[in-house]
Copies of this chain bind each other. A is one copy, B any other.
Amino acid sequence: MREVEVKALVMDPQQQMPVLLLREPQSERVVPVWIGHPEATAIAIVLQNREFPRPLTHDLLRATFKVLGAELEMIVIDSIQDSTYYATLHVRDPQKQSHQIDARPSDAIAIALRTGSPIYISEEIFQLAAVEMPSSEEEPGGKRDKFMNFVEAEMRLAEFKRFAQ
């Protein structure tokens, strides 16, 4: 397993889908994970240190863990089937017993960012999916091509706020 961090949340304009770039610290290799718009918004809010007056769905999950005395020890992106990544929440209950909960990577990461829990990727998936992060010094036509269609996601937070009851 490799611990990763959320390097960026970008938009794939061709597919009109948000993409999370997960990076191994001190490495230039990233694993891109395509996710849904609501989950992207939930992640963008944490990355941008935004706060909302009311708890959003992943805040509610964090509150549930807290109230029940459970701890999110880590999340692991641990398998892939039909081009879909699978993740697992590793949760410790108040009796120190461990539980695993099946989750989408987007939900798992949206919660992990709120609880400060580490994010891991299985070695197998890392080897399969990791690509080199393009450096800004690279000349046009180089590895940067792979990412040049990505633009910074513009999460329309003002509009979202309107809908956030």
Chain A contact residues, CB within 8 Å of chain B: 17, 33-39, 41, 53-58, 60-61, 63-65, 67-70, 84-86, 89, 91, 93, 99, 101-107, 160, 163-165
Contacts and interface: CB of A to CB of B under 8 A. Distances in A.
Contacts of A68: 68, 70, 91, 93, 99
B105 A165 contact: yes
A60 B99 contact: no
A40 to B, nearest CB: 9
B63 A65 contact: no
Nearest to A53: B84
Given A68-B68, A68-B93, A103 B39 contact: no
24 contacts: A34-B165, A35-B165, A38-B41, A38-B57, A39-B57, A54-B84, A54-B104, A55-B102, A57-B107, A60-B61, A60-B89, A60-B103, A61-B61, A61-B64, A63-B101, A63-B102, A64-B64, A67-B91, A67-B99, A68-B70, A69-B93, A84-B165, A85-B165, A104-B165
B165 A36 contact: yes
B91 A64 contact: yes
A38 B42 CA distance: 11
